[in-house]
Amino acid sequence: MKHLTFEEMTDFVSLRSLDRSSVELIQRVNGHVCRCSECRKKLRAMQTVAEGFASVAASFEKNGKSDCNNVTKNKIENENLTQTRKYRKEF
Q: Give residue 77's domain range.
A: 6-90
What pLDDT score was predicted for residue 27?
95
| Number of domains composing the chain | 1
Q: Is 1 inside any structural domain?
A: no
Q: Is 66 inside any structural domain?
A: yes
Higher pLDDT, 36 or 58: 36
- Res 91 pLDDT > 60: no
Q: Is 10 inside any structural domain?
A: yes
- Roughly what angle, to the nearest 10 degrees, separates helices 37-62 and 20-35? 130
- Res 41 pLDDT > 80: yes
Most confident option among 22-26, 49-53, 62-66? 22-26
| Cα 21-8-10 angle, rounded to 5 deg | 110
- Res 19 pLDDT > 70: yes
Region 53-79 average pLDDT: 63
Q: Which of 16-25, 45-54, 67-76 has the lowest mean pLDDT?
A: 67-76
